[in-house]
């Protein structure tokens, strides 16, 4: 599950990209990907029109039928992997269910900064994906690029986890 603030920009973009990558990796039938937001302010709203435009321009599904929803404690408990877009989202998710399955989305990007476990409190923000909602189309392009940069690492992590569980 990918998580951002309102569930109309970053997290649905990441959800769509991950679904595409899992499908391409032959794991589409074995992995469920969804998204939520920390806030309820966008509840029921579709994917932001600018996010849909950038997704379409890059050949992705545009998230038609998506309705923003707020994360619930049961969501965090029931997901094997919860992928927040910012350290603020990560802190909110950990308050719901501890550290166990919460891991920063960008931590899977091989080019992203490495945050040592003992420095998470101080440095985790270095892995934030900025909210494009307040900016222009370039901000949405940049967001998608960051989402794509981590997607293959997430797919590989999940592939290894599935193999470990089958062993």
34 is catalytic: no
β-pairing verdict for 2-4 and 83-84: parallel
**With contact defined as beta carbons under 8 Å apart, do 17 and 129 qualify?**
no
Catalytic residue among 10, 52, 69, 79: 10
Task: Note whether 155 and 118 are within 8 A (CB).
Answer: no
pLDDT at 97 over 90: no
Burial-class residue 98 by CB neighbours within 10 Å (0-12, 13-18, 19+).
exposed
Catalytic member of 34, 61, 130, 131: 131
- Rounded to an integer, the average pLDDT of 131-145 is 97
Least confident of 47-56, 60-69, 93-102: 93-102
Residue 131: active-site member: yes
Q: Which of 40, 44, 42, 36 shows the shortest CA–CA distance to 65?
A: 44
Domain positions in the chain:
2-166
CATH architecture entry for 2-166:
3-Layer(aba) Sandwich (3.40)
Confidence of residue 115 (pLDDT cuts 50, 70, 90): very high
Whether 4 is catalytic = yes
């Amino acid at each position: 599950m990918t998580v951002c603030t309102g569930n109309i920009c970053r997290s649905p973009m990441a959800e769509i990209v991950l679904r595409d990558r899992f499908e391409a990796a032959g794991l589409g039938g074995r992995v469920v990907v969804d998204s939520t937001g920390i806030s309820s302010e966008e509840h029921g709203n579709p994917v932001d029109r600018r996010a849909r435009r950038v997704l379409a321009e890059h050949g992705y599904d545009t998230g038609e039928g998506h309705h923003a929803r707020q994360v619930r404690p049961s969501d965090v408990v029931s997901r094997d992997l919860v992928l927040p877009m910012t350290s603020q989202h990560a802190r909110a998710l950990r308050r719901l269910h501890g550290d166990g399955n919460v891991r920063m989305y960008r931590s899977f990007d091989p080019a992203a900064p490495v945050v040592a476990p003992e420095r998470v409190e101080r440095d985790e923000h270095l892995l934030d994906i900025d909210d494009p909602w307040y900016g222009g189309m370039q901000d949405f392009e940049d967001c998608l690029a960051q989402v794509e940069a981590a997607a293959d690492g997430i797919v590989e992590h999940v592939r290894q986890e599935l193999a470990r569980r089958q062993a």
